[in-house]
Structure formats: C-alpha cells, structure tokens
Amino acid sequence: MFKQRRTFGLTLVAAAALASGAVFAQPAAKAGAKPLAGQVVKLVRIDPLSGLLGPVGVNQLKSYQFMAEKFSATNPAGVKFEVTGIDNKLSPTESLNALKSAIDGGARYILQGNGSSVALALIDAINKHNERNPGKEVIYLNDAAVDPDLTNSKCSYWHFRYDADTSMKMEAMSSFMKDKKDIQKIYLLNQNYSHGVQVARYAKETIGRKRPDIQFVGEDLHPLGQVRDFAPYIAKIKASGADTVITGNWGSDLSLLIKAANEGGYNGKFYTYYTGVTGTPTALGTNGAGRVFQVAYSHYNMGGQMAAWATEFQQKYNDDFYTHSIIRVFESLGLAMAQAKSTDPVKVAAVLSGLKWKSFNGDVEMRRADHQLQQPLYVSVWQKADAKSPYSPEKTGMTLAQVAEYPAFVSSTPTSCQMKRP
C-alpha cells in the first residue's frame, strides 16, 4: 500500500537544469512559443501577517515572492509574476476588506491558505463578485485551507485547492496508524474552527473503520490562535491515559502545545498535520524523536530541485521553505496561461479545471469535478538529521524523515460537489 523511505535524487539532467535555473516540473516550451512574454500577473495573498499566527503568514509571503522570481524566469507562458500581501489578522471580515482592496488595485488572482473560515468567506465573496462583474472575474488559489467543505458543499468554479484536504490526509494518516499496535488510546485536541472540527470528525470515522479496537479517550476544541498556555490540556491528556494525540493545530497553537507537552512530561505520540511549520521545530528541539509524525503532501527532504530551493531560501531569509503547494500554484498558472494564450482568469480557469502535469513528486491532477488537487501524500517522523534526511529546520539538528508514501488513489476521497460552471 505504501513505499518505505523513498528518496528523490538529482539525475545528471536535473542537475544540469538546476545549474541553469530551469524549473524541472514544467515541460520545455518550444522556441518562440511564449505567447505572453513580459505580461505582469498580479497576485495578492490575504493572510495573517501579525499576531500569534503572523509568523506563518510572513514566511509564506516570502515563499511566494521567492518562487515568483524563480517561475517568472522559466514559465512556459513567459509572464512575470508579482506577489504582494495584505494582513487579514486571521479575520473573515478583514479578509473581505482586503479582497475589495486587492480587486480595486487590479489583482485578478487571490492567494490564501491560513484559516478555512477565511477561505469560506472568500469563496462566497468571489462568487458574488464574478457574477456581478462579468469581464472582471477573479480566481482564488488556495494553498493551505483544508476544510473538505471547500470542495464539497461549498465548492466553487473559481476556487482551486492545491493542498490535500483534511479527509485526504486522514486517509493517509490512518492507513499508517492502523498497523501500529502500540496505538490503543487516542486524544483529539484541535482548534475550534472548521478545520479543527473536521480533523476530529474524520479521525473518529476513518480510524474507527480501520482500527475499531482503538479507543478515543478525550476530545477538546480550543480557541484559534488565542491560547498561550497548553499545560491544562496536557494535564487532561495525561489523565485520560492516551498514548497518542491527533491534532490539526498549526503555528503557535502547535508549537505551544508541544512546548507544554515537553514541560509537562507527556511522552505519548503526536500525529500532526503541520509539525514543519514555523515555530514548531524549535519547540520540539531534540525532544519527540520517533514520537512526532506529520502527514502532508511533501516534507523537508524531498531531494533534487526541492533541496536546492530549500537551501537557497534558508540562506536568503534565515527561514525555512515548507509550503510546497506554492510551487504547484506557479507550475499550473504558467502551463494554463501558455495553453490559454491569455492571463484572463476566465480563460485560465477553463484550463486549470482538470489540468494534469508532472510536479516535484510525480503526476498531479486538478480534479475537474471539484478543483481539489489529487496528489501523493507522505508520513514523516521527527528524528535527528542524517545523510538520508539532511535538512534541519530552524537549525535544530533534527528533521522530518519520510517513513511512508501513499499514491494519490489511496488518499483520494469522493466529492459531493455540484459545481456551477459559467
């Protein structure tokens, strides 16, 4: 069902491409075949740049601007990508104000990822804008908001999700966990918003189906981005007798949770979605080796071109590049614009819907039915960096090393989307 510890090395051809700055994931354009050479495509990212969760948004904005430079030099359409950011303070209301500002400023491509509550508000607003303003349509490119409703009951033709949704990740996570006989009692601790609620729901459904012997001994939802001391939650987890915690927490809500677990002497396992995100590697430090797992569409040690980009990003920003869905955003835009011979969102959306391409870890597809990217998923474990898994986030000397890979068909989940197409 899965492959153990697959590595991604550089071939001689890939090495030559890397040396020349070429982007390996895109097919080579024919000489003179770049129909939009020099056109500037404005993208605006609406995400938190302040507050407890601000460091995550700041990292991702830098990541977008870093990759915009790379792909502006290589995309098959010949366009130039320009990325700016607006601080939404993780508020849906602030996000709607930011959306209006971005559109008024000429942006036709909106980027967002942190907070499915924000994503739901943006989808609704963009649907209404596009219906009321023909000829001025906007596309929403979602790199990290993973509530399954976004590509099911709330699906939109104008929304494209590049991350794997909560249910997809839980399929992969539970496929890995079902063979771990030391997992007997699970505690669910999640942020109290749509994503956190869905993590708990799918954990109970999916693990209950694959391992009915496992007990769920506790469940908590806490305010998003507001808790500064997780010691009381750790005390409840210890009292429950849980040997494992499943959490969809991210940013400070995960790093502070891990910190409290270390200080409180909790020695159980953590199965997470976002261990690699800003702050959590430092909170873990050398603790948690072999006990903290992450399920995601990539990890720090993908190798090849990814390793080169990660190293360059770390040297340039003294920070880590971990939102790899950004690469797929630019890959797909370049391909779609080249095929459409246009940067018009209406024409680009028509190509993006159902687009298939070869990305950094194989073939991916933007499923036409719901605009959910179909892609491989990975389980990795926190351990000491070594020759096979050398990248060390936040200079901890530790890393996330791959222990399992699941092809797209394993993690793919069905959709109830009834998409309205223009």
Provide the pLDDT for residue 31. 46
Exposed/middle/buried for residue 62 (C-beta within 10 Å: 0-12, 13-18, 19+): middle
Within 10 Å of residue 49's Cβ, how many Cβ atoms? 20
Tell me how far apart the alpha carbons of residues 170 and 5 are, in angstroms, rounded to a whole number.
20
Tell me how far apart the alpha carbons of residues 8 and 361 are, in angstroms, rounded to a whole number.
8
Say which residue, 407 or 3, is predicted with more confidence: 407
Query: Minimum mean pLDDT among 7-11, 70-74, 390-394, 408-412: which range?
Result: 7-11
Tell me how far apart the alpha carbons of residues 44 and 97 are, in angstroms, rounded to a whole number.
13
Fold of the domain built from segment(s) 167-301+377-410: Rossmann fold (3.40.50)
For residues 323-336, give the mean pLDDT. 98
Provide the pLDDT for residue 34. 80
Provide the pLDDT for residue 33. 60
For residues 43-72, give the mean pLDDT. 96
Of the candidates 95, 115, 122, the one whose C-alpha atom is nearest the C-alpha of residue 52 is 115
- Which one of 3.40.50.720, 3.40.50.2300, 3.50.50.60, 3.60.9.10 gives the CATH number of domain 36-164+302-375? 3.40.50.2300
For residues 340-347, give the mean pLDDT. 98
For residues 247-273, give the mean pLDDT. 95
Within 10 Å of residue 257's Cβ, how many Cβ atoms? 26
Here the tokens at position 49 are 């740049």
The amino acid sitting at 143 is D
For residues 328-356, give the mean pLDDT. 98
Supply the DSSP string of 209-237, one letter for each residue. Answer: HH-TT-EEEEEEEE-TTT-S--HHHHHHH
The C-alpha angle 116, 160, 50, rounded to 5 degrees, equals: 40
For residues 128-145, give the mean pLDDT. 97
Tell me how far apart the alpha carbons of residues 110 and 116 are, in angstroms, rounded to a whole number.
15
Provide the pLDDT for residue 32. 53
Domain 36-164+302-375 identical in fold to domain 167-301+377-410: yes
> Could you tell me the pLDDT band of residue 358, with boundaries at 50, 70 and 90?
very high
Provide the pLDDT for residue 25. 40
Tell me how far apart the alpha carbons of residues 244 and 211 are, in angstroms, rounded to a whole number.
14
> Could you tell me the pLDDT band of residue 6, with boundaries at 50, 70 and 90?
very low
Query: Minimum mean pLDDT among 7-21, 107-121, 176-190, 252-266: which range?
Result: 7-21
Tell me how far apart the alpha carbons of residues 57 and 87 are, in angstroms, rounded to a whole number.
9
For residues 34-57, give the mean pLDDT. 94
Q: Report the relative pairing of strands 185-191 and 215-222 from DSSP bridges.
A: parallel
Say which residue, 288 or 221, is predicted with more confidence: 221
Tell me how far apart the alpha carbons of residues 246 and 252 are, in angstroms, rounded to a whole number.
16
Q: Which residue ranges make up each domain of the chain?
A: 36-164+302-375, 167-301+377-410
Average pLDDT, the chain: 92
Q: What percent of the chain has pLDDT over 70?
A: 92
For residues 187-213, give the mean pLDDT. 96
Q: Is the pLDDT of residue 13 over 50?
A: no
Tell me how far apart the alpha carbons of residues 29 and 79 are, in angstroms, rounded to a whole number.
13
Provide the pLDDT for residue 370. 98
Tell me how far apart the alpha carbons of residues 261 and 390 are, in angstroms, rounded to a whole number.
26
Say which residue, 4 or 327, is predicted with more confidence: 327
Q: Is the pLDDT of residue 79 over 90?
A: yes
Map residue 57 onto helix, strand or coil: helix
> Could you tell me the pLDDT band of residue 8, with boundaries at 50, 70 and 90?
very low
